[in-house]
């Protein structure tokens, strides 16, 4: 899709299921809208995380309440990253992480753990997991998007 906004010709280019807007004729920075899968069995926590990431960073957020739903969503939606709660019933974060890493369709997706298990972070029991980062609950909703971006090596969100 292309249109003229009066300053330049803008073109939407599909990238990984999302669209980047490029201003043709200029060398402005191209921005890609990120898609994050948020996995947490606690509805209030999951919605707070989603609202924070949507409001502060402008990211698209897909929500999942359990490991099975998250694996299906990750496979179908191919998010740019997954923010995963560690403690969940049936399939906890580390078990889900192992399944995601073992599947060809999801093995490349970076994962950031979100946990209330402060002791596990401090004693290093989560440090062996193949994740981009570990963030602690409770979180500051105004800083969460920046912390996620830092963990993933993304540019800090600006709104």
Identify the bridge partners of residue 19 per DSSP, sorted by sequence position.
Answer: 14
- The pLDDT, as a whole number, for residue 103 is 94
Residue 116 falls inside a structural domain: yes
- Does residue 129 belong to any structural domain of this protein? yes
What is the SS3 assignment for 25?
coil
**Residue 159 reports pLDDT greater than 50:** yes
Residue 157, domain member (yes or no): no
User: Which domain range does residue 48 map to?
Assistant: 34-152
CA distance 116 to 130: 19
Same domain? For 93 and 130 the reply is yes
Residue 63 within a domain: yes
Same domain, 26 and 89: no
Note whether 57 and 107 are same-domain residues. Answer: yes
Tens-digit pLDDT profile for residues 80-90: 999 999 888 88
The answer to whether residue 130 sits within a structural domain is: yes
Q: Residue 82: CB partners within 8 Å, gap ≥ 6?
A: 36, 37, 38, 39, 70, 74, 100, 109, 110, 111, 112
Same-domain check for residues 21 and 52: no
Cut 0.95: pTM above it:
no
Does residue 64 contact residue 73 with C-beta atoms inside 8 Å? yes
**CA separation for the pair 97, 149 (Å, rounded):** 19
CA separation for the pair 46, 32 (Å, rounded)? 23
Dist. CA 59–CA 102, nearest whole Å:
27
Q: What is the pLDDT of residues 16-71, one digit of tens each?
A: 555 565 555 555 555 568 999 999 999 999 999 999 999 999 999 999 999 999 99
Tokens of 27: 């060398």
Q: Would you say 113 and 84 are in contact if contact means Cβ atoms under 8 Å apart?
A: yes
Q: Which residue has the tokens 């580390």?
A: 94
């Amino acid at each position: 899709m292309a249109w003229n906004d009066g300053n330049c010709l803008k073109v939407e280019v599909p990238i990984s299921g999302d669209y980047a807007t490029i201003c043709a004729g200029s060398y402005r920075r191209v921005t890609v809208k990120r898609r994050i899968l948020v996995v947490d069995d606690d509805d209030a926590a999951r919605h707070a995380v989603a609202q924070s990431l949507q409001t502060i960073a402008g990211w698209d957020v897909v929500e999942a309440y359990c490991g099975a739903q998250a694996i299906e969503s990750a496979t179908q939606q191919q998010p740019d990253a997954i923010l995963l709660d560690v403690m969940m019933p049936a399939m906890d974060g580390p078990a889900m992480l192992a399944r995601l890493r073992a599947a060809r369709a999801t093995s490349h997706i970076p994962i950031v753990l979100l946990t209330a298990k402060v002791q596990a972070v401090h004693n290093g029991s989560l440090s062996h997991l193949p994740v981009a980062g570990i963030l602690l609950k409770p979180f500051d909703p105004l800083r969460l998007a920046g912390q996620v971006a830092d963990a993933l090596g993304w540019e800090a969100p600006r709104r």
